[in-house]
Amino acid sequence: MTSGRGISHSEVSTPDTATLHGVQLWVALPDATRHVAPAFEHYAPEAVTGDGFTARVFLGDLLGDSSPVRTHTELLGAEILLDAGATLTLDVAEHFEHGVLLDEGGIEVEGCPVAAADLGYLAPGRTTLGITAQVDSRLILLGGPPFGESIIMWWNFVGRSHEEIVESRRQWQEQIVRDGAVVTSGLDVADGLFGTLPDQPLPPIPAPPMPNARLRERR
């Protein structure tokens, strides 16, 4: 999902869902394209298999596979399953920094152990990346060039200044508040910067109050 200039969305589980398990990734858009029209693409990658591994490339290029999902900066994203004892050596872009998020199992990345729920980081400057699994493991490999722009992120809003966040919050609240109260159905949300979900009766989520301090930039 690309939020661009602003988007509304709902996340609803099917009635028979007992457990949700996944990774939610946020990617900042560069200044040149951060006001594009909102969009959504669904892509379920085919498995790429080899000696002791299975990979699914959902962003960018890896292991001879390529994702068709459009991005506004160069990105790499792949789920990799490694069998116990397997070592996978990947060809990677030298100008990328990489993150290895271990979901379950136990691995070493370039000889350094990474524990479950930890994110191993590798700076730009390498052309290969080696991962070894001590036990059956599942990980997410992420990559891209250093972003190089400062952002401000608060609640569900991303901007470039404190004032932008304040204005985004104002416009969202304006869409969902009637007569001083948040509407009880998504069908009653007014059109505006963040659009509407015409078939969603669930109530919208109001933004929390702004903190009593200026929001600070992050890189």
The tens digit of pLDDT for each residue in 129-182 reads 999 999 999 999 999 999 999 999 999 999 999 999 999 999 999 999 999 999
End-to-end alpha-carbon separation of the chain, Å?
Answer: 22
Model pLDDT, residue 218: 81
Residue that terminates a domain, selected from 144, 176, 198: 144
Q: Which domain holds residue 53?
A: 48-144
Model pLDDT, residue 219: 72
2 lies in some domain: no
122 lies in some domain: yes
Residue that terminates a domain, selected from 118, 144, 170: 144
